[in-house]
Amino acid sequence: MNITEKLAGEFGLKQIYAENIITLLDEGNTIPFIARYRKEMHGSCDDQVLRNFADRLKYLRNLEEEKQKVERTITEQGKWTEELEKALAAAQTLTEVEDIYRPYKPKRKTRASVAIAKGLEPLADILQAQPKGVDIMVEAQKFVSDQVSSAEEALNGAKDILAERISDDAALRKTLRELLFDKAVIECALLDGENKLTYETYSGFKQEAKKLPSHRVLAINRGEKEKCLKVSVVINPELMLKEIRFVFKKQNPATDDIIESVIADSYDRLLFPALERELRSTLTESACEQAIKMFEVNLKPLLMEAPLKNNIILGLDPAYRTGCKIAVIDKNGDVLATTVVYPTPPQSKTEESIEKLKTLVEKYNVDVISIGNGTASKEAEIFVAELIKHVSRPVSYAVVSEAGASVYSASKLGAEEFPDYDVSLRSAVSIARRLQDPLAELIKIDVKSIGVGQYQHDMPQNRLTEVLTGVVEDCVNSVGVDLNTASPSLLSYVSGLNMSIAKNITLYRAKIKGFKNRAELLSVPKLGPKAYEQCAGFLRIVGGDNILDNTAVHPEAYDATEKLLKLFGVSLDDVKKGELSLEGLVKLKGEEKVAQDIGVGVPTLKDIVTEIQKPGRDIRESMPKPELRSDVITMEDLKEGMVLSGTVRNVVDFGAFVDIGVHQDGLVHISQISDSFIKHPSEVLKVGQRVEVKVLSVDLAKKRISLTMKGIEKEEN
């Protein structure tokens, strides 16, 4: 197999681009670096395409290694044939390779291996050939020995050998697998498990396996694991047996009954149980990949939410008995003050709490209050709305997700950052910082705890971590990182860096009292030329020696950038003023001509022009701003038909959950998202998106809100 050709075809790339990507990956370049600074080499593929390419490359290389291993093992057994060579060359998946290897794979003790040890394989050959005019019992009598007591025992042993051969037939196994995957039905029966009520909807459940949505697969798996569901794979066995007969049964009345019993035994004892496990495993793997994909789809817009810069923020971590923890942070995220107030039950010291926080708000000129959306959030929101009426300056509030805040607060990282604060006060600081700079704060949390998906604890954890870490890396590197203020946690996600080097950067930064230029990074311990190449373009220096250090222009392109400026009669000082408008001039002169004159490709030229026109820009500023409020509504205030503005908090396979400001997110089912047909909610919605929704129904007892996005514009007109 030519892996490069195959990848080029699968990804619709020119072969030279596929070759270049493979070379870049093999040289140890990171995905963010390749995506941003080697566009000419791969045709400007985005980071997601490159990650998928890298995953597929790894799979295909593993496939080739496995093929070589199988060929080597079978050859050592002296059983390698031209037919096996062709079959192995044609195999497209690891499963197909495993099927080819199965007959030659050393097996643990089986009924067939016992029969072979007794010398019954020649009898199995006769039975498989099903020759006419041969009495199989007469043949079996010839194999009676010290180890085989009778013709019947000999025949049974031969049948066991043939049953295993049928099960090990690679082509047949592939046919049956495809048939099972196409025709099987998944059926569920409710058991008396501890969480039985949770799975009531799956009582008597039946659905074709190929049509089973991923969220149902995962729900069924969990119900089975909790012993609340009995799950069965059901198919008409005659469909499968017919395929086996076609391959292994010849028209011979003398052996028909015997062969029929062998086929039935092979199917019932060996084939169906194995294929059933494969089907369940494949459904689970596919469901997990889809769920991980949804984590990926949801996490990126969450991390890329617009920061609330240049605001003094009061973070409020709500609670009942232990009180609401408070932290005030300045415009840089540094803590100015902390305290605890008790406006919620059972203490309900509302007036005392208002006075205490009013003093803090006015002393530190607080602009916004950030409220965590966990326990007691609604009561805290009502309290804050009342507090705002008593302060003398304009203050608004926002409710932010506190998913993972407790994980961070109790983590080693949280303890290192705030050794003098208890866990709950660290959480209040985190809640404030999430509003100020979501990306910088959320990367401190284990990505699996951020809470924007389903069944995260049921996923293969290594794969989940790998994918979500990739999302964080892409976000961090697309935004860029302030080299002189970033935490080690944030720096560790920068291309080419790890936590060890990130800590070295912060120690060296303190020693030199801040970086003045990117080149100083080369003096950081353990940060060599390769790491510098990978990271430099993603690190920003505000107010440094060179304005280009506050852009995404890579140091390797500084000479080209200066040539560009000289070509149009402008200087780095003009870049610093932020008043350049080169895009039109470059197009007028001709992008290819300008690129050639300064020695770069057109994609790099475009990136340089974009960056020097707006040095220090934050791409998140174009994202929707956090929704700030000053009043509050409750779930009891909701009425059917009411139209509200909301923010998408989570996108799942069956719909999206929308925050409409009543503490309980409402569900917009996939059928209620668009008047046009959509295959998946993510085609229309993403986390952080502001939407108009209409209330369909409210169930106060179950705390469920059903929403729709359909028909709103029509009604308003």
Task: Give the distance from CA 277 to its chain's centroid.
Answer: 25
**What pTM did the predictor assign?**
0.82
User: Exposed, middle or buried by CB within 10 Å (0-12, 13-18, 19+), for 271?
Assistant: buried
HSE toward the beta carbon, residue 245, CA cutoff 13 A: 15
Percent above pLDDT 70 for the chain = 98
Phi, psi of 707 (to 5 degrees): -125, 165
Using the predicted structure, report yes or no on whether residue 713 has a pLDDT greater than 70: no
How does residue 407 score in pLDDT terms, banded at 50, 70 and 90? confident
Between 187-191, 277-281, 391-395, 630-634, the lowest mean confidence (pLDDT) is in 630-634
How does residue 712 score in pLDDT terms, banded at 50, 70 and 90? confident
Most confident of 55-69, 186-200, 379-393: 55-69
User: How far is the CA of 76 from the CAs of 62, 67, 116, 423, 603, in angstroms?
Assistant: 21, 14, 20, 61, 53
Alpha helices of 38-120 — where are they, by DSSP H? 39-42, 47-76, 82-90, 94-101, 111-117
Question: Domain spanning 111-292: which CATH class is it, in words?
Answer: mainly alpha
CATH 1.10.10.650 fits 3-104, yes or no: yes
Average of per-residue pLDDT values in the chain? 92
- Among candidate residues 661, 659, 663, 679, the one with its CA nearest the CA of residue 671: 679
Q: Scanning the structure block, which residue is given the tokens 């043949």? A: 139
CB 624 within 8 A of CB 306: yes
Q: Which fold has domain 313-474?
A: Nucleotidyltransferase; domain 5 (3.30.420)
Rg (CA), the chain: 33
Task: Report the phi/psi class of residue 77: left, alpha or beta, with left for phi > 0 and alpha for psi in -120 to 50.
Answer: alpha
Instruction: Give residue 107's pLDDT.
Output: 81
Instruction: Give residue 23's pLDDT.
Output: 98
Q: Which residues contact 124 (CB under 8 A, 6 or more apart)?
A: 115, 157, 158, 159, 161, 162, 165
CATH code given to domain 508-622? 1.10.150.310
User: How far is the CA of 156 from the CAs of 9, 127, 148, 263, 289, in angstroms?
Assistant: 51, 11, 10, 13, 44
CATH H-level superfamily of 635-716? Nucleic acid-binding proteins (2.40.50.140)
Point out which residues pair with 657 in neighbouring strands: 650, 667
Q: Which residue has the higher pLDDT, 564 or 453?
A: 564
How does residue 715 score in pLDDT terms, banded at 50, 70 and 90? very low
Could you give the CA distance from residue 9 to residue 587 in angstroms, rounded to a whole number?
Answer: 33
What is the per-residue pLDDT across 303-346, written as a single tens digit (0 to 9) for each?
898 999 899 999 999 999 999 999 999 998 999 999 999 999 99
Instruction: Give residue 454's pLDDT.
Output: 67
Instruction: Give residue 451's pLDDT.
Output: 64
Using the predicted structure, report yes or no on whether residue 700 has a pLDDT greater than 70: yes
CB 333 within 8 A of CB 437: yes
Tokens of 617: 């820009």
Pairing type for strands 704-708 and 690-699 reads antiparallel
Neighbours of 344 (CB within 10 A): 25
Instruction: Give residue 443's pLDDT.
Output: 87
| Mean pLDDT calculated for residue range 699-707 | 90
Using the predicted structure, report yes or no on whether residue 632 has a pLDDT greater than 70: no
Using the predicted structure, report yes or no on whether residue 456 has a pLDDT greater than 80: no
Using the predicted structure, report yes or no on whether residue 716 has a pLDDT greater than 80: no
| Mean pLDDT calculated for residue range 56-67 | 97
| Mean pLDDT calculated for residue range 550-555 | 97
Between 4-13, 20-29, 353-362, 640-649, the lowest mean confidence (pLDDT) is in 640-649
Using the predicted structure, report yes or no on whether residue 558 has a pLDDT greater than 60: yes
Instruction: Give residue 452's pLDDT.
Output: 66
| Mean pLDDT calculated for residue range 645-663 | 87
Please tell me whether residue 518 adopts helix, strand or coil conformation.
helix
Percent above pLDDT 90 for the chain = 73
Most confident of 194-203, 469-478, 493-502: 493-502
H, E, C per residue of 209-264: HHHCCHHHHHHHHHHHHCCCEEEEEECCHHHHHHHHHHHHCCCCCCCHHHHHHHHH
Could you give the CA distance from residue 602 to residue 697 in angstroms, rounded to a whole number?
Answer: 54
Instruction: Give residue 702's pLDDT.
Output: 83
Domain ranges of the chain: 3-104, 111-292, 313-474, 508-622, 635-716
What is the per-residue pLDDT across 575-611, written as a single tens digit (0 to 9) for each?
988 778 899 999 999 999 999 999 999 999 999 999 9
- Among candidate residues 282, 152, 280, the one with its CA nearest the CA of residue 225: 280
